[in-house]
Amino acid sequence: MSFGILAFLKLVGSLGLFIYGMKVMSEGLQKVAGNGMRRALNAMTRARWKGVLTGLGITAVIQYSSATTVMVVSFVNAGLLNLRQAISVIMGANIGTTLKALLISMLGFANLPLAELCIPIIVLAFPLMFVRNDRLKALAQFLIGFALLFLGLDFLRGNIPDFSPDALSFLRDLGGHGVASVLLFVLVGFLLAVAIQSSSAALALTMALCETGVIGYPMAAAIVLGENIGTTITANFAALVGNVYAKRAARAHFAIKVIGVVWALLLFSPFLASIAALSSASPEARHIPNPLR
């Protein structure tokens, strides 16, 4: 797929629409948020375990961890959540998104089509912009910002050059170099998630690479680790127009992912062996080659 100036401008414009949608949504949320919403959010996130369950539940339902983290950043920016509460919800979202991986591998489960709902949301919210009630105007601003944010994200994903297992067949020659290969494939996974802007699409591509024999199981695992870090870029994009607390929440999201990847890399070989033992009882699955040798 060719990638010229027009495609580049579409990509940058999509990013601009995404960031502008975040700004409009946050401003509307600050105006519309009342004591009832604050009490509800505090009740769901007051205890750390409640925050984790909230993040896990939301992500398991909508099957889109980026949506959860972007909303959390927006809530922090609006002063509805503090950093401690936000981190617990983000950790729950990180667990919830793993359910999506299992569903993709077993059922091919798709994401909730949030982008398809954006235009109807704008149609319903737009008339509220002209009413005299300030609270309804703020609600309309929030809904339109929400729709613009996810339209921007959908356009961003749609204007990225297509990746396919054939286009990435060169990865076949990059394995077999021990620790260097593992770290290289972690970087590949990071770049894939940043480029595709969808952890589920990046994961599906990784599974296709593994299934077609382009890469083996150890290198596929390394790519998945990198994708875990790369998927945090969406929340960090959203935080660009947020206040200092929103930026801290996005950076905490990034730090949590990095810490998780680091410990997985330190125990990479036993980590792979344990996953193989849990997922299959076949003798072949138990004998995973050590990629660090």
pLDDT range class, residue 285, cuts 50, 70, 90: very low
pLDDT range class, residue 283, cuts 50, 70, 90: very low
Q: Which amino acid is at 124?
A: L
- Compute the average pLDDT of residues 143-153: 84
Say what percent of the chain tops pLDDT 90: 3
> Cα–Cα distances in Å, from 59 out to 101, 102, 129?
12, 14, 30
pLDDT range class, residue 163, cuts 50, 70, 90: low
The pLDDT assigned to 102 comes to 59
The pLDDT assigned to 29 comes to 77
pLDDT greater than 80 at residue 112 = no
pLDDT greater than 80 at residue 239 = yes
pLDDT greater than 60 at residue 2 = no
> Over the chain, what HEC string results?
CCCCHHHHHHHHHHHHHHHHHHHHHHHHHHHHCCHHHHHHHHHHHCCHHHHHHHHHHHHHHHCCHHHHHHHHHHHHHCCCCCHHHHHHHHHHHHHHHHHHHHHHHHHCCCCCCHHHHHHHHHHHHHHHHHCCCHHHHHHHHHHHHHHHHHHHHHHHHHCCCCCCCCCCHHHHHHCCCCHHHHHHHHHHHHHHHHHHCCHHHHHHHHHHHHHCCCCCHHHHHHHHHHHHHHCCHHHHHHHHHCCHHHHHHHHHHHHHHHHHHHHHHHCHHHHHHHHHHHHCCCHHHHCCCCCCC
Domain boundary assignment for the chain:
5-286
Q: What is the pLDDT of residues 177-195, one digit of tens each?
A: 778 888 888 998 888 888 7
pLDDT greater than 50 at residue 107 = no
The pLDDT assigned to 274 comes to 82
In this prediction the pTM is 0.69
pLDDT range class, residue 50, cuts 50, 70, 90: confident
Q: Which range, 12-16, 107-111, 184-188, 279-283, has the best average confidence (pLDDT)? A: 184-188
The pLDDT assigned to 108 comes to 47
pLDDT range class, residue 289, cuts 50, 70, 90: low
